[in-house]
Amino acid sequence: MEFKPRPGQKEVLEYRGGELAVPAVPGAGKTTVLAHLAAELIASELNNNQKILIVTYMNSAVANFRRRIGDFLASKGLPRSRGYSVKTLHSLALGIIKEKPEARLINQEFELIEAGRRYRWIKDLCRKWAGENGELLQQFFNLEKNSYQFDKYLKKWKEDDFPAYVASMISYFKLKLLEGDELKNMVKYSNLKSANILYPAAEIFAEYEFRMAQAGLLDFDDLVQQSLKLLKEDPEFTERIASQYAFVFEDEAQDSNQAQEEMLYLLAGENNNLVRVGDSNQAITGTFTLSDPDIFRSYCKREDVDVETMAVSSRSSQDIIDLANYLVDWSQKEFAEREIEPLEKKYIQPTVKDDPAPNPDPEGYRIGSRAFKDWKTEKKFIARQALRKAGENNNNTTAVLMPTGWQLEEIAGEIKKLGGEFQLAGSSSSDAFLTELEVILKFLTSPASADNLKLVFAEVFAKEKPKLNQLLEAALAERENQELIFPLSGLNRDNFESEFRKRDKFDDFFKALTRTQGWLEASMDLPPDELILFLAERIELTGKKLALAQNLALEFGRLLNENPAWRLDQLTAELPEIRDRLRQFAETLTEMEGFEAKPDQVTLSTLHKAKGMEWDTVFIGSLTSSHFQHDNDDYFMGEKFYLNEEIKNPKASARAELEYILNEKKERNADYKARQELIAERVRLLYVGITRARKNLFLSTHQKKGKWDKDPAFMFISLDNFIKEIVKKYQAEEAD
């Protein structure tokens, strides 16, 4: 369909230079308009060696942008890929570091450490620190010593919560461009009290930095930190990089962080052509990343910045738009007395008459809400209703969105019980596993183990023919494993009694044995990296799994280069390490593929992962006070009841302590502020959820009964009343 800009979009497309902020509502066409504007500027404004830089968050958005800009350029008769460059913050940072290798503070051959491995390193360092500072670690505790609870939570603190806290602080220190030793000394000589929570994080940070440098490793935060340093320290270098870009665009600007903003300003250079597009009402990553929604809000308020708002959206029906707008109004009133503004006063407007792609206009009321008596009843209801919707023979898509992953797993369980199908949005951890290949490798490294052979059968052959497992058990009861695969007389049907040969599926069983023997022979002839490719082909891996196997072969090749004498068993022993890299690679692949909902299956997604997507029917469940906090007596995640009152939110306290050291500012209510920010973010999370729906929307919650049940969220009660009013209105109209 031809693209006809809507009000708001038109003005953005007229942009030809300077600083512009584009606040938008959900579904306003942010990506579409940025892609269009890029194509127009490339066609009319750029000279040959200049580019537009587009910075976005997810790899999926990178692919999406490239495709859209390419299409627009092609429709103007221009080359698809000239004149622009789409990058994530990390790929941008990596590019900058590579432009100036001589100034790199690390060695030339630096290697990136992936998230899983980084976390394991930090965990190890925390364990070591805890071993040496046991007394201090316990001073943070406010539980009775020697109680049952004390031991249980000390273990939880040491094993999980303390390393998670340290890992997040390390990222934060790097965002602030701090260095380990410098910070450690600042904390040591500050007048913070001796048992301050910043101290362990600063000490472990210094150790972490030292070890990383020794190993020639960089993490993702280093990329950003180092590249920013390079830019800040060398104006000529910055000028050289910035002059490549005639315009800089930032997508999803509500998720920006301080480092990203600084980098964009530097790259926009003297001509200062910067366009930032975002929706601060959809800022939902602040509690677990370093992003700060205030950055974009403040940008929109700057006097020297032009602002063009995109408020028209054709995504949802009028009832759903009304509900989203009601949530904005409700939060404005509800939080007027507090210091937070979860949702800015920005209303979604439907398209005007004659728009070629108008909002859906389904008949009757299509929104509903309900408070169930407990979680069990709620999840059964949602699973049944979602399946019913997906089973309707039309092209409409259906999703169930939940606050957490475990709730999704339970809904998935219910759907399975009902014989239905579902798909998960985003990558799941199982995507990253090459289970079949891994069990084969395990078998090939110790073929003498009957258990390994059983695993190969279970994973590779018996998935569709479970009888093969039984045949193997029966065969192994009579002879040794080696005798089965490598009998002295050669693998032959006659090795088996004629009674055995008559058994159901014997032919398949024999074929499986022959194949297994073939792999064993190949493992003796082929170098390990080639063996991986050979096996991948033999077990017919395709698509993402094949790409992963090729990646595994590369990893083996790399290790072999470093350790030429290694054999298959030594390489296989490295699999847990390699798996982290593969996982990251798999996630990128999944993101790049993008997600397409299938109409006959229910999509399951957390509310967070649903961002940027849309479905015809959306169920949002478990709207309880433990996920959507409102008052001080609600349960707040991130807070540890077992720690001393002033550090019960260790992250917030440590940030306040750091602020005190750096700027002499004393933040008295650090955890109160953290609570307010969390409350605000959860309002936005529900706003994101609601605005994913096109035609049908169902909100639900449950009462507190058993251990896993909770009270309805305060916000739910207001929305529930509003929805009941809409329903009543329709019913009155019907009765007339």
Ligand X SMILES: Nc1ncnc2c1ncn2[C@@H]1O[C@H](COP(=O)(O)OP(=O)(O)OP(=O)(O)O)[C@@H](O)[C@H]1O
Does 460 belong to an annotated binding site? no
When the beta carbons of 276 and 545 are compared against ligand X, the nearer one is 276
405 among the known binding-site residues? no
Q: 26 or 70, CB closer to ligand X?
A: 26
One-character DSSP codes across 66-118: HHHHHHHHHHTT--TTSSEEEEEHHHHHHHHHHH-GGG-SS-TT-EEPPHHHH
Nearest CA to 702 among 376, 313, 276?
A: 376
CB of 722 to ligand X, least distance (A): 22
List of residues contacting ligand X (CB under 6 A):
3-6, 9, 24, 26-32, 279, 314, 357, 612
Q: Are 12 and 33 in contact (CB under 8 A)?
A: yes
Distances, alpha carbon 341 to alpha carbons 198, 281, 294, 334, 336, in Å: 29, 10, 11, 9, 8
* Rounded least distance, CB 454 to ligand X, Å: 48
Hey, what are 643's tokens? 């720690």
Q: How far apart are CA 529 and CA 553, in angstroms?
A: 5
The CA distance from 605 to 626, in Å, is 19
Tokens of 690: 């609601």
Please, which residue, 30 or 118, has the CB nearer to ligand X? 30
- Residues in contact with 254: Cβ distance below 8 Å, sequence separation at least 6, in sequence order: 278, 279, 280, 281, 282, 283, 291, 293, 296
Beta partners for 693? 615
Q: How far is CA 9 from CA 3, 20, 41, 307, 317, in A?
A: 11, 13, 15, 12, 20
Q: Please, what is the minimum distance in Å from the beta carbon of residue 28 to ligand X?
A: 4
512 CB neighbour count, 10 Å cutoff: 20
- Residue 194 CA to its chain's centroid (Å): 37
Work out how close the CB of 277 gets to ligand X at its nearest, in angstroms, rounded to a whole number. 8
Residue 222 or 279 with smaller CB distance to ligand X: 279
Task: Write down the least CB distance from residue 612 to ligand X, Å.
Answer: 4
What is the C-alpha separation between 61 and 594, in angstroms, rounded? 9
CB 357 to ligand X: min, Å: 4
Q: Give the Cα separation of 260 and 452 in Å (integer).
A: 49
Q: Is 83 annotated as a binding residue?
A: no
Locate 45 and state its tokens: 């404004």
- Please state the closest distance from residue 584 (CB atom) to ligand X, in A: 24
Is 275 labelled a binding residue?
A: no
3-state secondary structure of 293: helix
Please tell me whether 285 is known to bind a ligand.
no
Taking the least distance from each CB to ligand X, the nearer of 346 and 376 is: 346
Nearer to ligand X, 26 or 689 (CB): 26
Given the complex with ligand X, which of 4 and 417 has the nearer CB atom? 4
606, 676 Cβ separation under 8 angstroms: no
List the structure tokens of 367: 């929104």
Distance CA(240)–CA(247), nearest Å, equals: 14
Q: In what order do the strands lie in the sheet with 398-402?
A: 367-372, 693-702, 615-620, 398-402, 602-606, 422-424
- What's the closest the beta carbon of residue 354 comes to ligand X, in angstroms? 12
Cβ-based nearer residue to ligand X, 56 or 227 = 56
State the minimum distance, in angstroms, from the CB of residue 33 to ligand X.
7
Closest approach, Cβ 360 to ligand X, in A, equals 12
**28 annotated among ligand-binding-site residues:** yes
Cβ(527)–Cβ(556) under 8 Å? no
Is position 17 annotated in a ligand binding site? no
Distance CA 515, CA 536 (A): 13
Distance of closest approach, residue 687 Cβ to ligand X, in angstroms: 11
Please report how close the Cβ of residue 530 comes to ligand X at its closest, in angstroms: 44
Q: Which is nearer to ligand X, 30 or 710 (CB)?
A: 30
Q: Is 311 assigned a ligand-binding role in the annotation?
A: no
Q: Which residue's CB is nearer to ligand X, number 388 or number 608?
A: 608
Count of beta carbons in the 10 Å neighbourhood of residue 295:
20
Position closest to ligand X via CB: 29
**Residue 29 or 447 with smaller CB distance to ligand X:** 29
> 330: how many CB neighbours lie within 10 A of its CB?
17
- In terms of CB distance, is 32 or 244 closer to ligand X? 32
Contact 653, 646 (CB under 8 A): yes
Whichever of 316 and 629 has its CB closer to ligand X, that residue is: 316
> Which of 170, 222, 108 shows the shortest CA–CA distance to 230?
222
* Residue 51 CB burial class (10 angstroms; 0-12, 13-18, ≥19): middle
Residue 603 in contact with residue 400, Cβ under 8 Å? Answer: yes
Q: Could you tell me if residue 490 is left (phi over 0), alpha (psi between -120 and 50 degrees) or otherwise beta?
A: left
The nearest distance, CB 34 to ligand X, in angstroms, is 8
What residues form the annotated binding site for ATP?
24-31
